[in-house]
Amino acid sequence: MFFEDAQEAAHALAAFLEGKRTIVVSGAGTSTDAGLPDYRGTGTTQEPSIDFNMFVTDPVWRAWVWQRNHETWRQMLRMQPTPAHHAIAALERAGLVSGNATQNVDGLDRASGQDNVWELHGSFATVDCIDCSTRFPREEYGELLSALNPGWPETDELPVILAPARRADAERSTFRVAPCPRCGGIVKPSVVFFGEGLPSEAMDGAMSAATAADAVLVVGTSLQVSTGMWVMRQAWAQGGPVAIVNRGATAGDRFADLRVDAGASEVLERTVELLGA
């Protein structure tokens, strides 16, 4: 079944979810209403990203990543969960959703009250020392960055965008990076860079939940990144039907029993109302 009308889709999705224990696989489309880019639209770049090896071996790239991270951090703190996040939390409380395997790193899933959240790509809320493996709150590390870079940024209204691997811009940066306060090592955001391993605890939890699920609901992701696709296919391989709610085509459309081409918030909010959740 295919729907573009949000109201019709909500009725179909409510019937799909009723009486099942569903795992959610979510992506950036659940956070666009909060002001975050979907990484395939506003805020994206066709230029290569800075991968893990570039970050670790080159202080120029490292400073550029932390500059962009520091410039957007305060905006991230002000962002609030969207109706899509709250709808997933309501479905979890109602026993219809077992948890959310999210590709997002913004923390809005947990902020909405969701309990079982597997952050497949890490979290913006913490930082890790590569050398001693200590994890720190992002706020704590932010204080160190602010002390080294007083008055930076001059405005907190900069757009939340990715830091492209643009060498000329990186070399012009005068941003200073703080070492690990424990061992003096290299600190990186607790998000998964290209070329870096996935967080095993999150992946194991998500795959286990997908194995036990009756169905899978994909929300706000094109599934072009393989992590979300792995979780979806694990549930599908156990015989679980698949519902996908996303604007635009996805890599998982061929698996979908129910396909909705509409916004995540409007569809999920109405679905929750219909289910009385």
Query: Binding-site residues for Zn(2+), please?
Result: 129, 132, 180, 183
User: 87-103: buried (b, 16+ CB within 10 Å) or exposed (e) per residue?
Assistant: bbbbbbeeebbbbbbbb
The two beta strands, 122-129 and 97-102, are: unpaired
What is the DSSP secondary-structure string of 157-221?
-------B--HHHHHH----PPPPTTTS--EEEEEPPTTS---HHHHHHHHHHHHH-SEEEEES-
On whether the CB atoms of residues 29 and 219 are closer than 8 A, the answer is: yes
Please work out, in degrees rounded to the nearest 5, the angle formed at the alpha carbon of residue 109 by the alpha carbons of 239 and 132.
Answer: 100
Backbone φ and ψ for 80, nearest 5 degrees, come out as -115, 150
Active site residues: 121
DSSP codes of every residue in 244-256:
EE-SS--TTGGG-
Residues pairing with 102 in the sheet:
26, 119
Q: Which residues are annotated as a binding site?
A: 129, 132, 180, 183
* Residue pair 241/55 in contact by the 8 Å Cβ criterion: no
> Could you give the CA distance from residue 161 to residue 260 in angstroms, rounded to a whole number?
27
Establish whether the linkage from the previous residue to 153 is cis, with ω within 30° of 0.
Answer: yes
Structure tokens at 51: 């991968």
Q: Pick left, alpha or beta for residue 160 (phi over 0 → left; psi -120 to 50 → alpha; otherwise beta).
A: beta
